Structure 1
Amino acid sequence: MEKQGDHGRDDPEPNAPYYLPRTIDNPFLTPRNQSRPGTIRSSAAVSYNLSEGTRPLRQRKFKSARLIGSYDKPWTTKRDPRMLWDKFFFWGLATIGLGLGAYIIYTGWASVDNPPYCLIFEDDFSSGIDESNWNYEIQVGGYGSGSFDWTTNDEKNAYADENGLHIVPTVTSEVTSITQGQILNGYTLNLTAQGICTSTDTSACVVVSNSTTGTVINPVRSARLTTQGKHNITYGKVEVVAKLPRGDWLWPAIWMMPESSVYGAWPASGEIDIMESKGNDGLTYAGGRNLVGGTLHWAPDSVLDAYYRTSGVRYLKRGDYSDDFHTFGMEWGEDYIYTWVDSRLAQSMYIPFGKKYGDMYDRGFFSKMSINGSIPLDPWSVTGRFNTPFDEPFYLILNVAVGATNGYFQDGYRNKPWVDGSPTAAEQFLNAQSAWEPTWGEGDTRGMTIKSVKLFSRTTCSG
Structure 2
Amino acid sequence: MDNEHSYSREGYYGRPAAGMASVASTAVPTPQRPGTPNDSVGRNPFSDGVESQASNRTANGGNGNPFASPSASRPPSSFDSSSGLGARFDDRSQRFFHSRRVRKGEVEKPWTKNVDPKEKWVTIIPIIGIVLGLCVSGFLVWDGIRSVVKHNYELVLDESFSNGLDPNIWKKEVQVGGYGNGEFQRTTGGDENVFVENGHLFIKATLEDDALTQRDFYKMDLLADGTCTSDKPFDCIAYTNNTNGNSSIVPPVKSGRINTLPGAKIKYGRVEVTAKLPAGDWLWPAIWMMPVDNKYGPWPQSGEIDIMESRGNDYTHPQGGNNIASSALHWGPNPANDGWWRTNVKRPALHTTYSAGFNTFGVEWSQKYLFTYINSRLLQVLYVNFDQSLWDRGNFPIVNSNGTRIQDIWKKTNRLNTPFDEYFYLILNVAVGGTNGWFQDNVNGKPWLDNSPNAKKDFRDAKNKWLPTWSQPQMEISRVRMWQQKDGDEELDL
Q: TM-score range by the shorter chain?
A: 0.7 to 0.9
Equivalent position to 2:476, from 440, 443, 449? 449
Equivalent residue runs for 1:137-176 within 5 Å: 137-173=173-209
Q: Counterpart of 1:192? A: 223
Equivalent position to 1:264, from 297, 318, 321? 297
Equivalent position to 1:118, from 119, 140, 154? 154
Shift of 1:278: 1.0
1:241 partnered with 2:263: no
CA distance 1:127–1:372, shift in 2 (3 Å): same
Equivalent residue runs for 1:288-303 within 5 Å: 288-303=321-336
Q: Which amino acid aligns with 1:186?
A: F
- Could you give the per-residue CA deviations for residues 248-298 of structure 1, whole angstroms, max 9, x where no partner exists? 111111111111111111111111111111111124544211111111101
Q: Counterpart of 1:346? A: 379
CA distance 1:254–1:70, shift in 2 (3 Å): farther
**Range with bigger deviation, 185-194 or 332-341:** 185-194
Equivalent position to 1:179, from 197, 211, 215? 211
Q: Which amino acid aligns with 1:191?
A: L
- Could you give the per-residue CA deviations for residues 172-196 of structure 1, whole angstroms, max 9, x where no partner exists? 13xxxx527x446432111111110
- Could you give the per-residue CA deviations for residues 131-151 of structure 1, whole angstroms, max 9, x where no partner exists? 111111100111001111110
The CA distance in 1 between the partners of 2:123 and 2:318, in whole Å, is 49
Equivalent position to 2:356, from 323, 329, 332? 323
TM-score (norm 2): 0.71
CA distance 1:205–1:87, shift in 2 (3 Å): farther
Q: Counterpart of 1:380? A: 410
Q: Counterpart of 1:413? A: 443
Larger Rg: 2
CA distance 1:266–1:129, shift in 2 (3 Å): same
Shift of 1:393: 0.9
Equivalent position to 1:334, from 344, 356, 367? 367
CA distance 1:7–1:328, shift in 2 (3 Å): same
1:207 partnered with 2:207: no
Q: Which amino acid aligns with 2:235?
A: A
1:398 partnered with 2:428: yes
Give SS of 1:192's match: coil
Q: Counterpart of 1:305? A: 338
The CA distance in 2 between the partners of 1:281 and 1:101, in whole Å, is 43
Shift of 1:91: 10
Q: Counterpart of 1:422? A: 452
Aligned CA-pair RMSD: 3.7
The CA distance in 2 between the partners of 1:103 and 1:321, in whole Å, is 38
The CA distance in 2 between the partners of 1:328 and 1:424, in whole Å, is 35
The CA distance in 2 between the partners of 1:399 and 1:370, in whole Å, is 33
- Could you give the per-residue CA deviations for residues 10-37 of structure 1, whole angstroms, max 9, x where no partner exists? xxxxxxxxxxxx9xxx9xxxxxxxxxxx
Q: Counterpart of 2:20? A: none
The CA distance in 2 between the partners of 1:320 and 1:252, in whole Å, is 14
Shift of 1:107: 5.6
The CA distance in 2 between the partners of 1:311 and 1:332, in whole Å, is 16
The CA distance in 1 between the partners of 2:103 and 2:321, in whole Å, is 63
CA distance 1:150–1:318, shift in 2 (3 Å): same
Shift of 1:360: 2.0
Q: Which amino acid aligns with 1:206?
A: I
- Could you give the per-residue CA deviations for residues 48-104 of structure 1, whole angstroms, max 9, x where no partner exists? xxxxxxxxxxxxxxxxxxx99987799x999x9xxxx99999999999998888777
1:361 partnered with 2:391: yes
Shift of 1:369: 4.6
Q: Which amino acid aligns with 1:405?
A: T
Q: Which runs of 5+ in 1 are unaligned?
A: 10-21, 27-66
Give SS of 2:279's match: coil
Shift of 1:129: 0.9
Contact 1:157 1:167 in 2 (8 A): yes
The CA distance in 1 between the partners of 2:283 and 2:478, in whole Å, is 19
Equivalent position to 1:227, from 251, 256, 260? 260
- Could you give the per-residue CA deviations for residues 184-222 of structure 1, whole angstroms, max 9, x where no partner exists? 643211111111011111111111111232111111110
1:440 partnered with 2:473: no
TM-score (norm 1): 0.76
CA distance 1:352–1:432, shift in 2 (3 Å): same
Structure showing greater relative contact order (alpha-carbon pairs closer than 8 Å, 6 or more residues apart): 1
- Could you give the per-residue CA deviations for residues 339-396 of structure 1, whole angstroms, max 9, x where no partner exists? 1111112111111113xx2x22222112545241122122212212111111111111
Q: Counterpart of 1:314? A: 347
Contact 2:272 2:361 in 1 (8 A): yes
Contact 1:135 1:226 in 2 (8 A): yes
The CA distance in 1 between the partners of 2:172 and 2:369, in whole Å, is 31
